[in-house]
Amino acid sequence: FDRPNPSPPSPAMLCAGIAQLVGRTSGPLTEEGLENIKQHKYKGGQYTKLDNLLNPLWTKSTEMLPMWVPPNVVTAVGGVCHLTSLGLTMVYCPTFTEVAPAWVLQVCAVLIFLGYWLDCMDGKQARRTGSSSPLGQLFDHGCDALSLLAHFSLTAILTAPLASSFRLVVANLVILHTTFFLSQWVEYHTHELIHSLGGFGITEVISFAVLMALGLSLVDRGQGSILDMEVSLPVVGAANLSTLYMVGFVI
């Protein structure tokens, strides 16, 4: 006998399934937390000028996707781009004291650019296909948390080994993840995900890192290069350009 094809589970059914699993494993998500996930409605923060400039391109790119492509697939492909970039930096610059090959900077820059571009498309694809769900946003935020490692590793190898101070590397990592955590914390209380401050946001930061990676891949980054040129500032004192760049990026 022919059996009818089962219909895909709804977000409510998925949340109920997760609730049962959490109840069996005593995981970190409570029943109240799962209910909050199910009822959550995403509200993005204010766009910057660069966001407004690129938004039509993000929309146009999304419209080129087939309607049958799930938004979570778009999110996952963007996550793969970021993890691939992270893997390259781990192989070619594992201690952040090696001079990464120029092609590694270029490939990582392209991968992070593509990953962020897809991250800006997945929500549009979800609304376009009518498949938006709280679990989709949870998956998106999880991939964003992992992508921070790729952003961190790229900025850390840009000026290595001239600015490979352990303190700067740790400060970079701590500030990136603290900022991400605080944005989620603010969203929890205000129900709005703030991604920019004073007209400068995530898009600007990632664009700057990508452009710096592409630019620095074209010049010598070793001892005696222009990045090793020492300058003296009133407060900071003597420091080379690589160190000043890393400190500025962290700030």
Say how far apart CA 14 and CA 20 lie, in whole Å. 10
- pLDDT of 24: 47
- pLDDT of 176: 78
Quick one: DSSP state of residue 193? B
Of 40, 82, 141, 191, catalytic = 141
Say how far apart CA 135 and CA 37 lie, in whole Å. 7
- Report CA torsion sign: 97, 103, 107, 112: positive
Task: Give the angle subtended at the CA of 81 by the CAs of 78 and 82, to the nearest 5°.
Answer: 95
Q: Which of 13, 171, 20 is nearest to 96 (CA)?
A: 171
Q: Annotate 81-136 with DSSP letters as a single string.
A: HHHHHHHHHHHH-TTS-S---HHHHHHHHHHHHHHHHHHHHHHHHHHHHT---HHH
**Residue-wise pLDDT tens digits, 81-115:** 999 999 999 899 888 778 888 899 999 999 999 99
Say how far apart CA 177 and CA 172 lie, in whole Å. 9
Is pLDDT of 194 > 80?
no
Q: How many CB atoms lie within 10 A of CB 150?
A: 24
Average pLDDT over residues 102-130: 91
- pLDDT of 13: 56
Which position has the higher pLDDT, 189 or 116?
A: 116
The answer to whether the bond into 161 is cis (omega within 30° of 0) is yes
Helix, strand, or coil (residue 151): helix
Percent of the chain having pLDDT more than 90?
19
In contact, 195 and 44? CB cutoff 8 Å: yes
Q: Which of 134, 138, 30, 154 is nearest to 82 (CA)?
A: 154
141 is catalytic: yes
Average pLDDT over residues 233-241: 53
pLDDT bin (cut points 50, 70, 90) of residue 240 is: low
- pLDDT of 182: 83
Is pLDDT of 185 > 60?
yes
